[in-house]
Homo-oligomer: A and B are copies of this chain.
Amino acid sequence: MSKQHKTLYWEDFEVGRTVLLGEKTVTRAEIVAFAAEFDPQPFHLDEAAAANTMLGGLAASGWHSCAIMMRLMCDGYLTNSSSLGSPGLDEVKWLKPVRPGDTLKAQYTCKEARASGSRPGIGICELHYELFNQHGDLVMIWECTQFFGQREAEAAS
């Protein structure tokens, strides 16, 4: 067999099940580097400038939190799955600041899994993602639509 064995196909998503995705500690240097390139607002770059803002201190760009969650997804299951990408998200919510030294843990819960009506061999999942810090605070949620190949379709190809 020349095909690489994948761990996860569309058939493996079970509605209601929650799956842990590992963790990542984010450093001050990473926060500042991401912000300098993509989100150079003062409260993502400098403690003194951040102190009197609504964030109450240096905090990561919300897009940095998104990028970290994406990496946790990739390492947790996505790069060893039949993933066919995503058309986007119905919701991204930033609920708490992410601080230097925070250890972020991700998980997802499958809310819905249906076969594509128009594209044979493809399944669609609605996945609810949550990102927590080391205190157990929920810092971000996503509602994400994702496409996956069906095991049966790959076996037949």
A63–B67 CB distance below 8 A: yes
CA distance A89 to B67 in the complex (A): 15
Tell me how far the C-beta of A99 lies from the nearest C-beta in chain B, rounded to whole angstroms.
15
Q: What is the CB-to-nearest-CB distance from A147 to chain B, in angstroms, rounded to a whole number?
A: 8
- Judged by DSSP, the binding face of A is mixed
Contacts of A155 in B (CB 8 A): none
Supposing A37-B71, A39-B67, A70-B63 touch, asked if A88 and B91 sit within 8 A by C-beta, the answer is yes
Among residues of B, the one whose C-beta sits closest to the C-beta of A90 is B91
Q: Mark A68-100, 1 if CB is under 8 A from B, else 0.
A: 101100100011000111111111111100000
Closest-CB distance, A123 to chain B (whole angstroms): 14
A-B contacts, 8 of them at CB < 8 A, read: A37-B71, A40-B79, A62-B86, A63-B66, A63-B67, A67-B67, A89-B89, A92-B92
Given A39-B71, A40-B71, A41-B79, 14 other A-B residues pairs in contact with their CB atoms under 8 A: A34-B67, A37-B71, A38-B67, A39-B70, A41-B83, A54-B147, A62-B88, A66-B66, A67-B67, A87-B94, A88-B93, A90-B90, A90-B91, A91-B91
Across the A-B interface, the 4 shortest Cβ-Cβ residue pairs: A88-B93, A38-B67, A89-B92, A88-B92
